[in-house]
Amino acid sequence: MDAFFASVEQASKPSLRGKAVVVGGLGPRGVVATASYEARIFGVHSAMPMAQARRRAPNAAYLVPRFALYRSVSEQVMGLLRALSPLVEPLSLDEAFVDLEAGGTAWDERSARLAGAKLRADIRAVTGLTGSVGLAASKMLAKIASEQAKPDGLVLIEPGTERALLGPLPVRTLPGVGPATGDHLRRAGIHTVGELAEAGEDELVRLLGKAHGHALFAMALARDERPVVAERETKSVSVEDTYDVDIHDRVRVGTEVRRLADRCVRRLREAGLSGRTIVLKVRRYDFSTLTRSETLRGPTDDPAVVREAAARLLDSVDTTGGVRLLGVGVSGLADYTQEDLFAQAAGVPADDLPREEAEAVPAPEPETPAERRWPAGHDVRHAVYGHGWVQGSGLGRVTARFETPGSEPGRVRTFRVDDPALQPAQPLPLVSRGPGEDEGAETGGGMRTESR
């Protein structure tokens, strides 16, 4: 998918279409998650410090991510991919490999190109967004093709042309060549994939070690036998927050851990899962990272159990000096729960309460309007003006623009942060349709595609 998070925001907010949009953490330590192509013109890119992005594109819209909406759109796209083949390997919310041969969807270059074109049309019809498709005989080449296709394009690497295409590309193009390996190869005088192949396998093994040297030499010769692996089973569910200012107050740290535990449980339940092992992650002021875990008697999705386990783990961690990141996760996943685990929480026997009440005790304290957070880009609803989104907040005021995915650009209004008429809201779905009947194309199987 093309600039996925930013594209979803533009589709959701008519006033931002065609404008520079940057999505990520907005605090002093925030980084860019995704930048729209309009923002990239100014040199903004993912993983860039947000402060640097603001200097380069001061007039862009800076928004906090809405992951629930992104996951919803991603599921629509992944559903289209699974219609092509049972072998779909998601790499992230916006990227996946598909083995078209396994689905009988393409058997030669022509049928593969038709399948890719239909996929792009279906993605646009269902989500209103654009995706770029790379088609090739291997995962490595399909990924390279999809990068060349961006934005909103399709590239097919024809069999027999792989070596010629790879030769002039920088070594960083190949999977597994990061900054450190790239610098090591550069010092050895190897800058392109062609020079990597010319260096020979023995030299690469000498420079990089046996496993890495063998693998890179094979890739330099366009050899990649890695299969497309169907969606892997989720190993864990976790959430974490990085704080703009180190937290020194131990009570505040405990409050944040409880809040993260509740968020983690919500994700567990959304996925229909439970887990046995509770994990706490703490990154301290000096960037040292500590991980603590506790394994329960059986799987649970009870917020009280997860909160108390995380609190016990926190007791074993020294937070003197400050904390810059906290995370709570659950692993050892299962699709069932062990009811009597509630007895571990707050000393309440499970048999004393029905399940519905047990899940709600102890409930987190509700926010008062003055405590409510108004993240930029997140959804609101006003009793008079309807649905909108937060443009910004501060000094006791929150500014919102009232518009929906299917409306014209809306009006901007400012309210007190404690105005009872203004409430946080859930994202509205993007305006979408089913794939058009006239967009069908002759399809069949035989190549791999990577859509991202």
Helix (H) or strand (E) holding 293: strand 289-300
Token code pair at residue 75: 């599921």
DSSP string spanning 74-127? HHHHHHHHHHH-S-EEEEETTEEEEETTTTT--SSHHHHHHHHHHHHHHHHHHH
The single residue listed with the structure tokens 């349709």 is: 433
256 SS3 class: helix
* Helical axes 201-208 vs 210-220, angle rounded to 10°: 140
E strands within 174-273?
Answer: 236-247
348 SS3 class: coil
Backbone angles phi, psi at 214, to 5 degrees: -60, -45
Pairing between strand 61-63 and 21-24? parallel
Token code pair at residue 234: 């989720």
What is residue 27's DSSP assignment? Answer: S
Closest CA to 214 of 223, 205, 227, 203: 205
Question: Order of strands across the sheet with 21-24?
Answer: 32-35, 21-24, 61-63
Closest CA to 98 of 82, 122, 114, 79: 82
Distance in Å from the first CA to the final CA of the chain: 4
Catalytic-labelled residue, pool 95, 101, 256, 308: 95
Bond from prior residue into 362 cis (ω within 30 degrees of 0) = yes
Q: In terms of C-beta density within 10 A (0-12 exposed, 13-18 middle, 19 or more buried), how is residue 281 classed?
A: buried
95 catalytically annotated:
yes
| 395 to 63, 415, 416, 431: CA distances (angstroms) | 19, 11, 9, 35
CB 127 within 8 A of CB 169: no
In angstroms, rounded to a whole number, what is the distance separating the alpha carbons of residues 4 and 292? 34
CB 323 within 8 A of CB 246: yes
Backbone angles phi, psi at 325, to 5 degrees: -145, 140
Report the alpha-carbon angle 288-289-291, nearest 5. Answer: 150
Q: In terms of C-beta density within 10 A (0-12 exposed, 13-18 middle, 19 or more buried), how is residue 403 classed?
A: buried
The catalytic residue positions are 95
